[in-house]
Amino acid sequence: MRFCLFLFLSLFSVNAFAQVSGNKKAQNFFEKANPFIQKQDYTSAEQALKSAVEADPLFQNAYILLAGVYKVQKKYQEARTAYEKAILINKAVAPEVIYNLAETEFATQDYLKAKQHFSDFSMQNSSSDQARRAKKYLLDCDFAAIAIKKPVKYSPTNLGESVNTTDAEYFPAITADGETLIFTRQVNGNEDFWTSQFKNNSWNTATPLSSKINTAKYNEGAQTISPDGKYLFFTGCNRPDGLGRCDIYVSHREGKDWGEPYNVGQPVNSEFWESQPAISPDGRTLYFISNRPGGYGGYDIWKSTITDDAKWGPAINLGPEINTAFDENTPFLHVDGKTLYFSSDGWPGFGNKDIYYSRMDNEGKWQKPINIGYPINSFEDESGLVVSANGNSGLFSSTLKGGYGMQDIYSFGMPEIAKPLKVSYVKGIVRDLDTKKTIESNVQVVDLKTNKTVFDDYTDPETGQFLAVMPVGSNYLFNVNAEGYMFYSENFELKAGDINKPYQIEVYIEKIKQGGNVTLRNIFFDTNKFNLLPASIRELDLLIDFLHQNEKVQIEIQGHTDNVGDDKLNEKLSFNRANAVYEYLIKNSIDAKRLTFKGFGTSKPIADNKTEMGRKNNRRTSFVITKV
């Protein structure tokens, strides 16, 4: 549409100062150009107009139209030269010619002259959409003149022929473990999803995602994948169950295949245009693009969060901290949950759409967006960036030289300043302790600093697998539970700069039985004290849920210490700590007849007390099932 606008403005300028050439040969070439332009045969139009100005070097209108044709083909230097020649012939040109000249000067990085001509245009035209954009370009000129002198390192790498083809590939999405890539491929005008697995240090040959999602009748695209690869949110347009022209749909992976997608419904979707979803790492907040009323420009970024009754909440505009009077698109929320990447042509940049990032502060507010830098951003449109979980790589689509055809998918090293916050993840399988068979179970991860649940979902029903992301710099409760089984408790303390690789674990849980023992790794006390710390409450509430779900179960709460200090004092301390848990359970509706407690002091170590880690493991609270 922007290309069509360029030519429209050029034609408008020609008509406004309608002059014909006194040279019939030149006039004939000029008239031949118009049918070529209508057919978008710009190469032929260019040749005809070049012949026109060769025949009549003072044919101003031919130069203006030739400049527009150059501009459509992104030959910005040639377009600039043609505009300059037209103005040299006669300075009395339509304001749109000055605007277009300024754009070509901006595109060729002559920001000083571009600023002057945008200013000249604004003085002549103060109310049109172009005037509004010219004022924004003035900000771009000031920004770009400085930013272009501080380029960031940028070396894009094509993902190769296993992913890219002679067709167009775009909108990459990748799981947190970096092993699954899902992207859009357009073949004969139809958009479908394809997927590739990263194995043996390379991407496998891509295959269609699923016949349950891909259709021959409709286009599927603009997708996002949850960090664990189990939920695919995507855009579907003109479908029978749609609420507007384009709506957001979701599909859940079921074993090796995907389930039938369904429209997420109101209030996310509306009678207006919704597209380009991005899901938060906890799966509770969906970011998306919409042109519904109540925004700040044509297309804004909105969000909806799941409520306590498991429904999507009201759509909320991200506000002027992110959105502008122009357009924002392709949001991507990193798995750190606090770094938002998106494209915009409203914030100061290098012209057209640039990629920006914003950080969420501790109060949940988005900071002022920052341009990701040159040459990642340029005068052309840049959009659709996603960033790997480790923050080192960005993925995007482009038509760079040396590609396989149309748009290809590329990766590049992220500039240090634009990297997201550090994260890790725990990836594993849940199995029955006795049979070793995988189990469909619930996995919960809670940030104990904020008391917020960062992951709460079920393992894959066929494989028993799960993947949960955890931002570095906090302490996490990790719990696995399944009906008829004792639950599993673990704790992950992720210190900044102390993460070498993600956690890969196999979790074994055993069926409820007399004598079954569970260590509660998220019960916390201050040194030599027995008052429960606030971070213990989530684990205690999980124990309460377990007892409510298994009403015949009776337990003995046990306290244990390491061997540091006096044995009698340790025994008393362990007794008091077990009693603290006992008292909490009673105060929260657990019948005292189902509970006993005991302190064992140092008498039942589970690790060597010679090491700090061993002593830490021995300082624990546990429970034993005494009756089922």
DSSP letter assigned to residue 230: -
pLDDT at 151: 95
Q: What is the pTM of this model?
A: 0.90
Average pLDDT in the chain? 93
Euclidean distance between CA atoms 76 and 60, whole angstroms: 18
DSSP 8-state secondary structure symbol assigned to residue 418: G
pLDDT value at position 16?
A: 38
Q: Is 130 helix (H, G, I), strand (E, B) or coil?
A: helix
129-147 helix and 111-124 helix, angle to the nearest 10 degrees: 160
d(CA 107, CA 117): 13
By 3-state DSSP, what share of the chain in percent is helix, strand and coil, each rounded to 5? 25, 30, 40
Provide the pLDDT for residue 499.
66
SS (H, E, C) 237-294: ECCCCCCCCEEEEEEEEECCEECCCEECCCCCCCCCCEEEEEECCCCCEEEEEECCCC
Task: Write the CB contacts of 108 (distance below 8 Å, at least 6 apart in sequence).
Answer: 76, 77, 80
- The answer to whether residue 1 scores a pLDDT higher than 60 is no
Predicted confidence at residue 20, as pLDDT, reads 82
pLDDT at position 6 is 47
pLDDT at site 182: 97
**Residue 13 above 80 pLDDT?**
no
- Among candidate residues 326, 330, 358, the one with its CA nearest the CA of residue 343: 330
Q: Is the pLDDT score of 56 beyond 80? A: yes
Find tokens 């057209």 and name the residue: 352
Sheet architecture: strand order including 488-494: 452-458, 442-447, 474-481, 488-494
Residue 605: half-sphere exposure toward Cβ, Cα within 13 Å: 15
* Mean pLDDT for the stretch of residues 457-477: 93
Burial 245-270 (b: 16+ CB within 10 A, else e): ebbbbbbebeeeebbebebbeeebbb
Per-residue pLDDT, 308: 85
Judge residue 113's burial from the number of C-beta atoms within 10 Å of its C-beta, 0-12 exposed, 13-18 middle, 19 or more buried: middle
Strand order in the sheet with 328-333: 328-333, 339-344, 354-359, 370-371
Sign of the alpha-carbon torsion through 318, 321, 325, 326: negative
pLDDT tens sequence across 157-170: 999 999 999 999 99
Alpha carbon distance, N-terminus to C-terminus of the chain: 71
> Which whole number is the average pLDDT over 361-389?
94
Instruction: Please write the tens of the pLDDT for every residue from 112-122.
Output: 999 999 999 99
Checking if the pLDDT of 405 tops 90, the result is no
Of 2-11, 190-199, 372-381, which range is least confident? 2-11
Give the per-residue pLDDT at 106: 96
Question: What is the C-alpha separation between 225 and 469, in angstroms, rounded?
Answer: 14
Instruction: State how far the Cα of 493 lies from the Cα of 511, in Å rounded to an integer.
Output: 28
pLDDT in tens, 327-364: 999 999 999 999 999 999 999 999 889 999 999 998 99
pLDDT at position 149, please? Answer: 95
pLDDT value at position 400? 87
Q: Residues 516-548: pLDDT tens digits? A: 999 999 999 999 999 999 999 999 999 999 999
User: Rounded CA gap, 215 and 223, in Å?
Assistant: 15
- Report whether 68 contacts 7 (CB < 8 A): yes
Beta bridge partners of 386: 395
What is the model's pLDDT at position 500?
Answer: 63
User: What is the arithmetic mean of pLDDT over 305-325?
Assistant: 95
Band (pLDDT 50/70/90 cuts) for residue 10 is: very low
Q: Give pLDDT, residue 310.
A: 87
pLDDT interval class at 498 (50, 70, 90): low
Place of tokens 């040969």: 25
Is pLDDT of 14 > 50?
no
* Cα–Cα nearest to 99, from 34, 10, 37, 17: 10
Q: 300 pLDDT band (50/70/90 cuts)?
A: very high
Q: Quick check: bond before 156 cis, omega within 30?
A: no
DSSP code string of 157-220: EE--TTT--SSEEEEEEE-TTS-EEEEEEEETTEEEEEEEEEETTEEPPPEE--TTT--SSS-E
Burial of 509 per CB tally in 10 Å (0-12, 13-18, 19+): buried
Distance CA 253, CA 207 (A): 16
- Taking only the tens place, the pLDDT of each residue in 176-186 is 999 999 999 99
Nearest to 193 by CA among 170, 176, 175: 170
621's tokens? 């609270």
Q: What is the pLDDT of residue 497?
A: 65
Least confident of 79-88, 253-262, 422-431: 253-262
